[in-house]
Structure 1
Amino acid sequence: MKWFIGFLCLLTVYLLFDGLSLSAHSSSDKKHKYTSSQSINPVKEQEILPVEKEWLAYLQEQEEKKPAPEAAKNNKVDKPPYPTITIGEKNYQLLGIFKKDKHPFVLLKAVNSELIELQEGAALSEGVVLQAITASAITLSQGDELIKFKLFERSDHVE
């Protein structure tokens, strides 16, 4: 039975590949030389429909209403896409609140600076001290002022 199935498989493969002969698709005429065209005929430009004209006019009008990009940049202050706290002239991002050997600490990062690891009572900068660490926020003191900064503060992204 195995020999019979093997013979049928070989016969099927032979019949399939026999139909793919390349000589059937190529010309056997040696007298004539066939060439393909060297240029592509351009398509005649079609007339713009009235609806398309109205739409293009509308788009042009909307484009003209937009303020220039340079003017828009001058009016906006570049704000980072994440919540920050400004202390002095630096914006700090609260990256996380952690606990190591039952001692909590936070990781802060300012633009173009290394990570800052702070524990309760440590100074962030001159006059700014980390007072308290909770599960979702930190409290900093700057002189007599207390600043609370939440880790996952909701933002509406409204300007």
Structure 2
Amino acid sequence: MHRTASTSLTIADILSVATPSELRMLGHFNVLKTSLSALLGLTIAPRSWQTLYRFVGELQAVIQSDPSICSPGPHPVSEAARTKLSTVLMSVTSVRIPAADPEAALSHAVATLVAAARDPAAMYQATRTRNFHHSSRLEGIDMRRSKPAESLQTVLNRYRKR
């Protein structure tokens, strides 16, 4: 799923990655870092793919570990979850927070992450993709080993020839 410059990234796209290579497929490092900073409203300061992936992984771990974040509906997020998300955000945020009020900037970033985690369209897409990979594997087609530039038709043609 390689994105072009005209396609905008969402928090859900970034949070759905499972490996560093999937993160790299989203685009160039500087573009990805700038997009994530703009979406969160904070200036994040990772300097390598590894630190950016570690940051995304920490966010995923906090989101998946707390049911108050992932539960659909207008349920409030627990204070412990807000604190964990704020801690992860502060660990990767640069010293200067652009807003006059750092608490408001952190609250906005946490609210953005919670909204992305609760997005039903993103949850549906992730489930659909995971189920597609599993059903393809049952048919003898390993989609995870395919190259990112390969189309579905190329993969299917390769397995039909066997």
Q: Same fold, TM exceeding 0.5?
A: no
Query: Which of the pair has the greater relative contact order for Cα pairs under 8 Å at 6+ separation?
Result: 2
- Higher CA-based Rg: 1
TM-score (norm 1): 0.21
Q: Which has the higher strand share?
A: 1
Q: Which has the higher helix share?
A: 2
